[in-house]
Every structure is written in structure tokens, then in C-alpha cells.
């Protein structure tokens, strides 16, 4: 009889995933939750408490991947019903209420001076992604979690495959904030000519920033080996793990920084993932990665999935950064669909901002249509492989980018149409957004402790659900408490 470790490894191995349409429908529960939350907040006048906040923004997501995994449309209705009722009952009482308008300083051209304003829809997008990620990494070890949602072995799509790519995309979007701020600082020089000293300094700075995450990767490696924790070797390899991928992203970003100063990030990301795909399908690289008989040959073969999939994840990271120029900014800057603008260039453009200058919504509509069209074309093309998270190939990259573009657009539209000035924002979503890395670390830690403490494969549905609810409640409480005391560990 096989050991419990082997049983758990087999439980998450050789899976085939599910359909893209179902994955979109299940994860769209987060959009329904955000819509319902905003309707209740905007029309009821009710000060949303922590329990209601937790039910709307966490429990609904947990239900979508467990109890309601086979009846997602019913769950959508149950989530939206309270919001719709609040809107209907509250609309009459607010007819005479004057709409408050935020007074935002403007420059001579009438543009808002706040370049980087807080946008609640981005907070909701990032936080819901973290919530579903934290639930999934634990739930996958229980029988209650559908196997079609767990990571596929090689070819196919699943909710968890999409989750790791979305995590990287979100990380890229978040890191673009500092780049935009630096570019637009009127006191900075716009001279982007290559300087070896500055280049070396940037690489060193990003390397130092990455050391804590890389250290976490090393700690996870040592602890997994020492505790004989279950491993899925074909996911990243024998020594590699997701923390190592996350830690290396800023370092490689610094390495190609001179290119990013002159070539639009979207183009750079596209070239990276297309080049990687062409190399794989026209050489023996794909066969080399997928072979099982060479696993123990060298250090590279031991970690080949992690090493080569990093190329795909890196392109996703750069794609995420490319969205920052029109998603994060509070006003339009010249040609922001493709580039991050300097203050001098913004002032020089004046009344002629350029044909690729868009609002946040316009940019997301264009990006969504383009990336989905490109994704579906690549899917039908004969010269590329199928979607593979294990390889992080071209179809996988485009799937992740197109999905995140669509959902960002969904959150943006909900905020633009429903949200009102002064409406209460979710304390839980704010807390997860402000402590994204910490919540992810705690999720991994609790997942390991639970797996080491109990046999997850023997838990029935009521016990499983109770564990997952308690786990989510603890994570949410910790995040809110840390946020209250202004303790932040950002992604």
C-alpha cells in the first residue's frame, strides 16, 4: 500500500482540467460579489460590517469552488439578489440627495494633478485574486475541491493554472506604479541613455529587494524536503518553486530595463513569449522539458519546468506592467496605451496627446478585444502548441493576459456605473491588497500546517467546509488587524 504522501501526490497528478468557459463563469463570482457589495453600499445606506463583508467577498468565492461548483449560475443569482433589492428599495429614498463631487485640483489643461490615485476597482481585482488563490491552495488537497479546478499535468486549462499566471500579472501591474511615478516626476531627467553605473545600481537594487522572496523559496525547499511534504515534481521541478519564480522576476526586469526605456512593454512581452514558443516548437526544447527519463541527469533537468516556464511568466509580468500606464493613472497621458509618459512630454504634448491616448476604460476595452482576438487566433493556429501552464507557453501567456484584461474591465465598469463618492469600501479587500504578500505567505504556511496535522483525503464535505471557512476567517482577521495597525508587506 502506498504511503499517505504518495496518495496525496497522486491526488494532484495526471489531471486534465476543465473548460475555459466554466473557469470564466466560476471566477466571475468575484465580479458578482463586487457588484452586489457596491449596490448595497450605494443604495442601502447600510454600513457594511465585517461579517457581511466576509460573506460577500470571501465566502462567495469559497462557495464557487466547493459547494456551488456545479451550480455556479445559481450562486450568481444568490449573490446579486441582495444588491438588486437594495438598489430597488433605496433608489427612491435617494432621489433628492445631491450627488457629491470630489474637488480635484486641475492644471492649465484641465487634467487632474493626481497622477496615481487610489482606484477601488484595482483593489477589488487584486484582493479577490488573492482570496481565491489562498482558498485554492488549501482546498485542492481535499476531495471536496473538483479535480477539474486543480493544476493540469501538461496540456489543458484549470482554475489553478490561471491563478498562478494571474498572480504574476497582478504583480507586474502593481510594480508599474513606482515606474510611472518615477517617469512623471518633473524633477527627474528624461535622458534615458544607457549608463553603466545606473544600470548596475538598478540590478543590485532589485536583487536586494528580491532576496526576502528568494529566501522564502529556499526555506520552502528545505522544509518540504525535511518534513517529507508531498511534492508535484512536474510542476516546477525538484528544487524550484513559485517563490523562486517571483523572486527572480524583478532581477530579470532590471536586466532588460534599457530595452524597456525605448520599446513599449507590450511589444517586448509579445516578442519574449512568441520567441520562446518558436524555439520550443522548432527545436527539441519542448521534448526535453516534457521527457521524464532525463530528470536526474543534471541540476537543469531536475528543475527544467521551473527554469523554462520562467520565460513565460516573465512575459506575463511585463504584460502586467504594460497595463499600468492606462489602468493606474488618474488622467490621460500621451500615448498611454503603449508607453509610460514623462512630465516634460506630457506638458509638451498639450492639446495634442496622440492617437494612442486613452482613458482607463477605453484602454481596457481595446486591450481586451485585442488580446482575446490574438489568443483565439493562436489557439487555432497549427504552428503553436496547446495551452500548457507547465511550459508557460504562448497560448498560456495570452490566455492569462486576455483573462485579466477582461476582468479588470469588468471591475472598472462596475465601479464607474455603480460606485458612488463616499460609499464604504471593503475593509477586507483593502487589507488583502495592502498585505498581499503576507496573506499569500500565511496561506502557504497554514496550508502546510493543516496538511501535516490531518489527513485531508479522509475529510468529508462538512468537515472540509468548516476547515476552509475557519482558514479564510483567520486570514481575513489577521489581514484586517495588520491593516488597522498600518503593518504592510506589499507585493
Domain range for 213: 155-419
> Which residues share a beta bridge with 112?
106
3-state helix, strand, coil in the chain (%, to 5): 65, 0, 30
With beta carbons less than 8 A apart as the criterion, state whether 346 and 330 touch: no
Whose CA is closest to 157, among 27, 19, 276? 19
* DSSP code per residue over 13-46: SS---B-HHHHHHHHTHHHHHHHHHHHHHHHT--
- The verdict on pTM exceeding 0.75 is yes
Q: Is 478 inside any structural domain? A: no
**Does the residue 103 lie in any domain?**
no
For the chain, what is the domain count?
A: 1
Q: Please, what is the average pLDDT of the chain?
A: 89
Instruction: Identify any residues that bridge with 312 across adjacent strands, giving them in sequence order.
Output: none
Asked whether residue 463 is domain-assigned, the answer is no
DSSP H helices, 283-342, are: 285-290, 299-302, 304-327
Mean pLDDT for the stretch of residues 272-287: 95
Please indicate, yes or no, if residue 75 is contained in any of the structural domains: no
3-state SS, one letter per residue, for 400-467: HHHHHHHHHHHHHHHHHHCCCCCCCCCHHHHHHHHCHHHHHHHHHHHHHHHHHHCCHHHCCHHHHHHH
Output 227 or 136, whichever has higher pLDDT.
136
Residue-wise pLDDT for 127-147, tens only, equals 999 999 999 999 999 999 999
Name, of 106-110, 356-360, 408-412, the range with top average pLDDT. 408-412
39-43, 309-313, 367-371: segment of lowest average pLDDT: 39-43
HSE-CB at 142 with a 13 A cutoff on CA atoms is 23
pLDDT digits (tens, 9 = 90+) for 334-368: 888 888 877 777 777 665 777 888 999 999 999 99
Asked whether residue 454 is domain-assigned, the answer is: no
| Cβ(147)–Cβ(15) below 8 Å | yes
Q: Say how far apart CA 471 and CA 491 lie, in whole Å.
A: 21
Q: How far is CA 167 from the centre of its chain?
A: 3
> For residue 302, is it within any domain?
yes
234 in any annotated domain? yes
pLDDT bin (cut points 50, 70, 90) of residue 93 is low
Q: Which of 85-99, 169-183, 237-251, 335-349 has the lowest mean pLDDT?
A: 85-99
Could you tell me the pLDDT band of residue 413, with boundaries at 50, 70 and 90? very high
Predicted local distance difference test score (pLDDT) of residue 182: 85
Domain-embedded: residue 29? no
Which residue has better confidence, 153 or 1?
A: 153
Amino acid at each position: 500500500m502506498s504511503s499517505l504522501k504518495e496518495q496525496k501526490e497522486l491526488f494532484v497528478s495526471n489531471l486534465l482540467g476543465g473548460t475555459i468557459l466554466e473557469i470564466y463563469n466560476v471566477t466571475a463570482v468575484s465580479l458578482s460579489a463586487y457588484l452586489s457589495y457596491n449596490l448595497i453600499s450605494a443604495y442601502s445606506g447600510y454600513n457594511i460590517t465585517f461579517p457581511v463583508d466576509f460573506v460577500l467577498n470571501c465566502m462567495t468565492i469559497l462557495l464557487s469552488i466547493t459547494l456551488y461548483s456545479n451550480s455556479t449560475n445559481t450562486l450568481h443569482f444568490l449573490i446579486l439578489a441582495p444588491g438588486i433589492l437594495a438598489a430597488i428599495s433605496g433608489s427612491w429614498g435617494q432621489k433628492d440627495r445631491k450627488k457629491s463631487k470630489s474637488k480635484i485640483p486641475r492644471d492649465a489643461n484641465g487634467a487632474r494633478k493626481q497622477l496615481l490615485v487610489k482606484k477601488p476597482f484595482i483593489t477589488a481585482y487584486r484582493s479577490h485574486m488573492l482570496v481565491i488563490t489562498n482558498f485554492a491552495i488549501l482546498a485542492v488537497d481535499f476531495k471536496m475541491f473538483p479535480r477539474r479546478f486543480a493544476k493540469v499535468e501538461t496540456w489543458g486549462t484549470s482554475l489553478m493554472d490561471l491563478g498562478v499566471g494571474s498572480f504574476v500579472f497582478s504583480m507586474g501591474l502593481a510594480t508599474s506604479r513606482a515606474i510611472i511615478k518615477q517617469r512623471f516626476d518633473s524633477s527627474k531627467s528624461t535622458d534615458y541613455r544607457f549608463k553603466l553605473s545606473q544600470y548596475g545600481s538598478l540590478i543590485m537594487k532589485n536583487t536586494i529587494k528580491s532576496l526576502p522572496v528568494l529566501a522564502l523559496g529556499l526555506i520552502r525547499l528545505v522544509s518540504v524536503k525535511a518534513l517529507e511534504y508531498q511534492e508535484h515534481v512536474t510542476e516546477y521541478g525538484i528544487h524550484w518553486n513559485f517563490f523562486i519564480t517571483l523572486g527572480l522576476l524583478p532581477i530579470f526586469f532590471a536586466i532588460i530595463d534599457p530595452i524597456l526605456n525605448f520599446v513599449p512593454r507590450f511589444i517586448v512581452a509579445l516578442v519574449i513569449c512568441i520567441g520562446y514558443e518558436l524555439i520550443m516548437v522548432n527545436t527539441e526544447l519542448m521534448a526535453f522539458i516534457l521527457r521524464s527519463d532525463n530528470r536526474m541527469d543534471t541540476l537543469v533537468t531536475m528543475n527544467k519546468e521551473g527554469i523554462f516556464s520562467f520565460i513565460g511568466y516573465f512575459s506575463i509580468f511585463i504584460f502586467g506592467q504594460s497595463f499600468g500606464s492606462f489602468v493606474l493613472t488618474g488622467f490621460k497621458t500621451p500615448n498611454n496605451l503603449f508607453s509610460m509618459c514623462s512630465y516634460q512630454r506630457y506638458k509638451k504634448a498639450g492639446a495634442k496627446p496622440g492617437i494612442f491616448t486613452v482613458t482607463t476604460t477605453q484602454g481596457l476595452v481595446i486591450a481586451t478585444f485585442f488580446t482575446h482576438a490574438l489568443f483565439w487566433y493562436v489557439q487555432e493556429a497549427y504552428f503553436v502548441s496547446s495551452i500548457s501552464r507547465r511550459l508557460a507557453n504562448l497560448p498560456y501567456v495570452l490566455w492569462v493576459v486576455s483573462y485579466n484584461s477582461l476582468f479588470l474591465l469588468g471591475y472598472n465598469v462596475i465601479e464607474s456605473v455603480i460606485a458612488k463618492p463616499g460609499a464604504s469600501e471593503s475593509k477586507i479587500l483593502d487589507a488583502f491588497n495592502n498585505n498581499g504578500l503576507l496573506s499569500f505567505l500565511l496561506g502557504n504556511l497554514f496550508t502546510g500546517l493543516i496538511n501535516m496535522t490531518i489527513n485531508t483525503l479522509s475529510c468529508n464535505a462538512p468537515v472540509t467546509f468548516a476547515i476552509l471557512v475557519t482558514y479564510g476567517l483567520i486570514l481575513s482577521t489577521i489581514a484586517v488587524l495588520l491593516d488597522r495597525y498600518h503593518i504592510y508587506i506589499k507585493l
